[in-house]
Amino acid sequence: MLTTTIGLAEQYEYLTERFQKAYAFLKQTDFSQYQEPCEIEIDGRDVYAQVQIYETKPADECRFEAHRRYFDIQYMAQGEEYMGFLPKDALEPDTDYDPETDLAFFRQPAAWGKILLSEGRFAAVSPDDGHMPRCMAGTPRLVKKIVVKVRVPEPQKGVNTWQK
């Protein structure tokens, strides 16, 4: 899933080399071998994966979040969940940005969109996207989700910032 504005569209080249490595990892990996949460390097810290295993919960117990240095490719390996979505600039900060975790949390707005992540589906979340993962779809259930982190390239003067 890609959702953005025309003004930001050129930045989101979801087929660059880093994204290709992430997609190949998701396509070629047997996630049944991972029974515990862990981190897997794909291309150093430019592209890596987090295996997450948890029980989904009601939306009012979840939090909106956003990142600055990484895109998320959130891939549902087992189970399903709703993920809230709202552009980051429409959200009110709840915490300061933490550069160590590349994470900021936001207050839950009165209204937001949501998508259903079911087995085999993913959502690509940019640094401009506020997202609220871990929301139950119906009843709480155990899920295994793979979050592939794709580093945002450093801007270079006169060069499109989303090249390799």
Task: Domains for the chain: give ranges and CATH numbers.
Answer: 12-151 (2.60.120.370)
Sign, CA dihedral 83-87-88-94, equals negative
Average pLDDT rounded to a whole number, residues 14-24: 87
Task: Calculate the average pLDDT of the chain.
Answer: 88
- SS3 of residue 98 by DSSP: strand
pLDDT confidence bin for 153, thresholds 50/70/90: confident
137 and 56 Cβ atoms separated by less than 8 Å:
yes
Which residue bears the tokens 């979040």?
A: 65
108 and 39 Cβ atoms separated by less than 8 Å:
no
What is the distance between the alpha carbons of residues 35 and 47, in angstroms, rounded to a whole number? 21
Which pLDDT value is given to residue 164?
A: 33
Q: What is the per-residue pLDDT across 69-118, written as a single tens digit (0 to 9) for each?
A: 999 999 999 999 999 999 999 999 999 999 999 999 999 999 999 999 99
List, in order, residues 6 or more apart from 63 with CB less than 8 Å away.
94, 105, 106, 108, 132
